[in-house]
Structure 1
Amino acid sequence: MARQIFQLRITLLDVSPAIWRRVAVPGGYTLDRLHRVIQYAMGWQDYHLHSFEIENAQFGIPDPEGELDLRDELDVRLDAVAGKDSRFSYVYDFGDWWDHEIAVEALYLAEPDERYPLCMEGERACPPEDVGGAHGYAEFLDALKDPGHPEHGAMLEWIGRHFDSEFFDPDRASVLLRRLV
């Protein structure tokens, strides 16, 4: 029997211009696996906590101290909580509060010769971890672009590598996603 594939558009909110990815994932994936797909596709490093909000229910890693009321994401399959045209939220890093909208664009049967999950396309680089949320990211970009900016040198040193905010390679993201198979 052929697997059902969910085509998802993942959009990072509160950042302009938009940072987004289009991925294809099996509907049988648990939300835990979907979390890992989002991490690899977006470019996050999975350093922080996360949660999904679907139909007013919160899903994530259960909090042993009981401070967060999260249903266990390991127990929930994507195809059990979402369908065509569904939209739900994924938040990564409760400090920086990276809010993502996940939109189910299409459902289709898996292509026999295709490997899933797959990153089909997207735009722009993911913000660096711990940059300070959307506001901090905007300040980071301003400092990088202007050699005369008082924080230019500090930001170059902090990032420690070349950073091109416009660059995204969906093929590289797909290679990373193969680790989930």
Structure 2
Amino acid sequence: MSASIIFQFKITLKRIKPNIWRRIQVPGNFTFWELHMAISDAMGWQDYHLHQFEVLNPRNGQIVLIGTPDDFGLVEVINGKTVKIADFFSAPKCKAKYEYDFGDGWDHEILLQKILPAIPTVEYPICVGGKRACPPEDCGGTWGYGELLSIISNPNHGEYEERKDWLKLIGYTNGEFDSEHFDPKSVYFRSFRDSWNQRNFIPL
């Protein structure tokens, strides 16, 4: 996507140590929907679940929710396709909370690190850094992820084979999961022209 300025964000998954994080550069004219897709691709989430941003509105000092509108109208959520990130991330050090999968509750800190001029020869978004693998989808949040790592590190554990089979089932070759491995060059960003209505969400 063509843009004259680029926003560099650091995304850190909360409540897991050592930190799991990514550094991405995205066009300054991105919507929050497009930022969500870039975060999902960079982190390694499969985008099976709902998400939302919790961000300060610089115009009135109020916290707003941006993401997938609530069909029941119980909570006001602004449609992420209608709002530009530049309207809320006005300067470096601006932060937001991003939650993915309301069931597992994966909370991320979104930090705007820099606003940069775009390099004409670079196709954005790009991932320029990061550490550690994304947890497997639907592993049970931070607590379930810790339990999973403990079990697969111990071949004598009673659930070892079951968990390895589950990892195979969800796409990990031979059930192998390396929690420490991440290569920024391996990140593939999908087309940001995907229709909202074509996304296949699991409710939680």
**TM-score bracket, shorter-length normalisation:** over 0.9
What is the CA-CA distance between 1:169 and the residue it aligns to?
1.5
In 2, Cα distance between equivalents of 1:68 and 1:46? 22
1:71 to 72, 78, 82: 78
- Structure 2: which 5+ runs fail to align? 57-62, 194-204
Q: C-alpha displacement at 1:126, in angstroms? A: 0.4
Write the distance in 2 (CA, Å) between the matches of 1:138 and 1:66: 35
Asked if 1:154 corresponds to 2:162, the answer is yes
Distance 1:157 1:38 in 2: 28
Shift of 1:12: 0.3
Number of aligned residue pairs: give it: 179
Large movers: runs of 4+ above 2 Å: 178-181
More helix by share: 1
Superimposed CA distance per residue, residues 82-118 of structure 1 (whole angstroms, 9 cap, x where no aligned partner): 1211010100000000000000010011012111000
Following the alignment from structure 1 to structure 2, what is the Cα–Cα distance between the partners of residues 117 and 178? 10
Distance 1:38 1:2, change over 3 A: closer
Once the 2 structures are TM-superposed, how far is the Cα of residue 74 of structure 1 from its aligned partner? Answer: 1.0
The 10-residue stretch of structure 1 (145-154 or 21-30) with the greater mean CA deviation from structure 2: 145-154
Pick aligned residue for 1:114 from 119, 122, 136? 122
Q: What amino acid is the match of 1:125?
A: A
Percent identity between matched residues is: 44
The TM-score normalised by the length of structure 2 is 0.84
CA distance in 1, matches of 2:74, 2:27: 32
Once the two structures are TM-superposed, the CA of residue 75 in structure 1 deviates from its matched residue by 1.2
1:37 equivalent in structure 2: 38
Structure 1 residue matching 2:189: 3-state secondary structure: helix
